[in-house]
């Protein structure tokens, strides 16, 4: 069975079916990746009113030439990226105790035009601060495609902090954004008010998000 067929037959809801079946999947989908459920966050994001998603800390400028979105700055990939990230939006599937997090947003171009079918890959530490560096489950690794409005969302648990040398890195998410087969962005997202942000070598306030009632949003501009 082809990879995409497998995804499409995995008992997904109607919305997820539409997204997953058209998704330009990157890399190999392992069989553990078919647990995807497209949860409600999209409606949480735009409330059905077709208004732009909130941008988190990402500036949007309006001048005589129209709306311009600032290109999202790259950040280091780090050592834990893995090929073949499973197609799934729900990463909270391992029964871990943690703080629920929905990370949602959009992918746009520099003119703030949403990009449909962009692939967003997310990988992160579990709530204890550990990455799944070896198991075939690829825990807390997931990729989704943006919908027609350029929107995506993941449900997960807040990543734990981990030691990098003598100091903790602040909680963060790692992401890549692909358009077609072109990697447009490798970056990290941080969380407002993390006590380790300011001492971190890579933290950038422009890529820091607030978490409100478990929801954090960000616009990636590539
Ligand atoms: Fe990391």
Give the HSE-up count for residue 79: Cα atoms under 13 Å, Cβ half-sphere.
6
Task: State the residue range of the domain holding 26.
Answer: 3-221
Q: What separation in Å is there between the alpha carbon of 161 and the centre of ligand 1?
A: 9
pLDDT of the residue at 57: 59
* CATH number of the structural domain spanning residue 49: 2.60.130.10
> What's the domain count of the chain?
1
pLDDT digits (tens, 9 = 90+) for 29-43: 333 333 333 333 333
Q: Which residue spans within the chain are E strands per DSSP?
A: 60-63, 66-69, 100-108, 119-123, 141-145, 151-157, 162-164, 167-169, 172-179, 182-191, 208-209, 215-221
Give me 9's structure tokens: 């037959």
Q: What separation in Å is there between the alpha carbon of 21 and the centre of ligand 1?
A: 30
Q: What separation in Å is there between the alpha carbon of 120 and the centre of ligand 1?
A: 16
Q: What separation in Å is there between the alpha carbon of 17 and the centre of ligand 1?
A: 31
pLDDT digits (tens, 9 = 90+) for 52-93: 455 665 667 766 667 799 999 999 999 999 999 999 999 999
Average pLDDT, the chain: 81
pLDDT of the residue at 47: 34
pLDDT digits (tens, 9 = 90+) for 113-159: 999 999 999 999 999 999 999 999 999 999 999 999 999 999 999 99
């Amino acid at each position: 069975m082809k990879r995409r067929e497998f995804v499409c037959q995995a008992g997904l809801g109607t919305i997820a079916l539409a997204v997953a079946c058209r998704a330009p999947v990157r890399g190999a989908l392992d069989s553990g990746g078919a647990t995807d459920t497209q949860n409600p966050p999209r409606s949480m994001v735009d409330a059905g009113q077709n208004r732009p998603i909130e941008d988190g800390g990402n500036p949007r400028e309006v001048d005589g030439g129209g709306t311009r979105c600032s290109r999202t700055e790259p950040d280091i990939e780090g050592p834990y990226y893995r090929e073949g990230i499973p197609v799934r939006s729900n990463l909270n599937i391992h029964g871990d105790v943690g703080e629920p997090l929905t990370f949602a947003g959009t992918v746009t171009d520099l003119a703030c035009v949403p990009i449909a079918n962009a692939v967003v890959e997310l990988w992160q530490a579990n709530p204890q601060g550990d990455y799944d560096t070896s198991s075939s489950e690829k825990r807390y690794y997931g990729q989704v495609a943006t919908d027609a409005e350029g929107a995506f969302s993941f449900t997960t648990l807040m990543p734990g902090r981990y030691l990098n040398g003598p100091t903790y890195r602040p909680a963060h998410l790692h992401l890549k954004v692909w358009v077609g087969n072109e990697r447009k962005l490798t970056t990290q997202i941080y969380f407002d008010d993390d006590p380790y942000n300011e001492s971190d070598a890579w933290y950038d306030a422009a890529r820091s998000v607030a978490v409100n009632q478990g929801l954090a949003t960000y616009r990636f501009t590539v």
